[in-house]
Amino acid sequence: MKTILTGLRPTGNLHLGHYFGAGKTWREIQNDYDFYLEIADVQALTDNFNDPEKVRRNVFEITKDLLAIGLDPEKVHFFIQSKIPEIAELTVYYSNLVTVARLQRNPTVKTEIAQKKELFGNDGESITYGFLGYPVSQAADITCFEGEVVPVGEDQLPLLEQCREIVRKFNSIYGETLVEPQQLLSKTPRIKGLDGNDKMGKSLGNAIYLVDDDETIRQKIMGAVTDPNKIKKDDPANPDICMVYYYHKLVNKEENNQRICEECKKGERGCVACKKELIEAMHEFLAPIQEKRKFYEEHPEEVNKVLDKGTQDAKEKAVETMKKVKQAMKIDY
């Protein structure tokens, strides 16, 4: 069975974009791979170094979310990044194999640096060494567990390619030691936000989270973007540009969606009524997830067991890898 590795930065709870995107892929592949899932608290600190309590809290919050959406701790090794010191050690070794110029050329890093420059209004003085070097840390995450496959979206391919470059460079210098990972591209398109933005996210305020209560969901859906050309209740509208219908297609039943689409196009359905129906469908969709999550809320010791067991499994794998790495580098004193 091939080893697959992926990770999440614990900076907040999961939203519907996570559920239908990465979560869908992970639920499908957990039966077919030796699956390591990293809660990347160290990488979360690259952006949240001044708020460690937030990161620590979200390690457990995000684990409860992942268990609630259907990831099976009997099939998935959940582990905490900071509890595997071999990752940090391997990151140091890899840092000698990558130039600063190469990191700055990484398309994903370039985009995020540009965003930071725009946010802070300077020439990049706020960019830390840890932030610039996080692709090196990610390469250590993957190779420390001999990850053969990594599930990624297209926007993450540059990071995986950088990992492969590091592996090739290491093997060319020290001999064939590391596994060069291959991508498993997600077939799920990115889920749009309630405001129509192509990206759903906390900073944009356009996401429905798996932990949102009934009133929060109601307020968010009532504020969702609809067809701007529909002025009156009985005006015909285009459901294909309406975010309310977009979310109906995600969480409502197919027979309901056909009816909604036809009524919308004929002007037989008002936006308020449509939003109210979506609210009901959303509650029905989230109810079993929130019920399962409630169990873990009430039994935090079960979450600790999952993380302890998964981290122990990951630790054993990392120790084996580091023995090979240090032997190849002639530092196995």
Residues 323 and 253 in one domain: no
Judge whether 227 lies within some domain: yes
Residues 140 and 247 in one domain: no
For the chain, give the percent of residues with pLDDT over 90.
70
- Taking the C-alpha atoms of residue 322 and residue 332, their distance in angstroms, rounded to an integer, is 9
Residue 142's CATH number: 3.40.50.620
How would DSSP label each residue in 209-269?
Answer: BTT--HHHHHHHHHT----TT--STTS---GGG-HHHHHHHHHS-HHHHHHHHHHHHHT-S
Judge whether 67 lies within some domain: yes
Residues 175 and 258 in one domain: no
Judge whether 207 lies within some domain: no
Residues 176 and 279 in one domain: no
State if pTM tops 0.85: yes
Residues 165 and 245 in one domain: no
Name the domain count of the chain. Answer: 2
Residues 19 and 145 in one domain: yes
Residues 277 and 310 in one domain: no
Judge whether 230 lies within some domain: yes
The residue range of the domain holding 265 is 214-292
Residues 103 and 246 in one domain: no
Confidence of residue 110 (pLDDT cuts 50, 70, 90): confident
- pLDDT, one tens digit per residue, over 148-176 is 999 987 778 888 999 999 999 999 999 99
Confidence of residue 58 (pLDDT cuts 50, 70, 90): very high
- pLDDT, one tens digit per residue, over 257-278 is 999 999 999 999 899 999 999 9
- Taking the C-alpha atoms of residue 185 and residue 162, their distance in angstroms, rounded to an integer, is 16
Residue 245's CATH number: 1.10.240.10
